[in-house]
Amino acid sequence: IVGDIGSGKTASAMSIVDEYRDQYKDVYLLMDKKAFKNYKGQGFKRIDPDKIVIPRNAIFVADDLHLSQHARDWAGGKGRPLEELARERRQTNTMMIVTTQVTRVIDVNLLNMMNCLIIMRPSIAQAKFDRGEIAPMLRKAYAGIKYDEYGKAYVFSNVGEGFEGIIEGIPLPSWYSDEISNAHRDHFGGDVQETPGEIAKQPL
């Protein structure tokens, strides 16, 4: 699920979780402890972004993947567990949901293994400059979804006979809240954003 800031990516992911939760044993979130505390009492389990394990018979959600991974992480092997999870999800009976506003953090191999691409309202920059593999789809979404339209998405699915088009009226789960929507707000340490480390400053 991709889209602009505040376009409803997390809400849509949780709507999918609610739809399929009863068909799986557990629901896991790839998330740091600060963000995960906002999901307390909602029946989720946490997976540490630095120690990714492959769940079985579960829904696996990597929400705002760009906060825990970067394009260079895939080259360094950090993203390999996600690729393995995507490749083996049939054998492990795992549904994988990834949300991000930066598609370049998703390795092309992972992108190619997805059954469905859901594009919430994209920004003009995403529509014009995003990665070549999905740029045409982002442009279609940008043309079909107005800036103030929520609960609407452009969907590309290869499930069954396949589907391409706009869907509307994506429901919000009854338990969804502003705290969950803003769960990653403390990711960078509350009110003060830390200066990037030396590794982050190095050229890619």
* Sequential pLDDT tens for the chain (204 residues): 999 988 889 999 999 999 999 999 999 999 888 888 888 889 999 998 888 888 899 999 988 887 766 555 545 555 567 777 777 878 889 999 999 888 777 767 777 788 899 999 988 888 777 777 788 888 899 999 988 888 899 999 988 888 999 999 988 888 888 777 777 665 555 444 444 455 444 444
pLDDT of 33:
87
Q: How far apart are CA 1 and CA 153, in angstroms?
A: 9
pLDDT at 12: 93
Q: What pLDDT shows up at residue 79?
A: 58
The Cα–Cα gap between 134 and 100 comes to 13
| pTM score | 0.80
**pLDDT value at position 96?**
92
CA atoms of 163 and 100, how far apart (whole Å) = 22
Tokens representing 23 are 């068909």
DSSP state of 100: B
Q: Could you tell me what percentage of the chain is helix, strand and coil, using 3-state DSSP and rounding each to the nearest 5?
A: 40, 20, 45
pLDDT of residue 89: 79
- The C-alpha torsion from 160 through 164 and 166 to 169, rounded to 10°, is 10
pLDDT of residue 193: 45
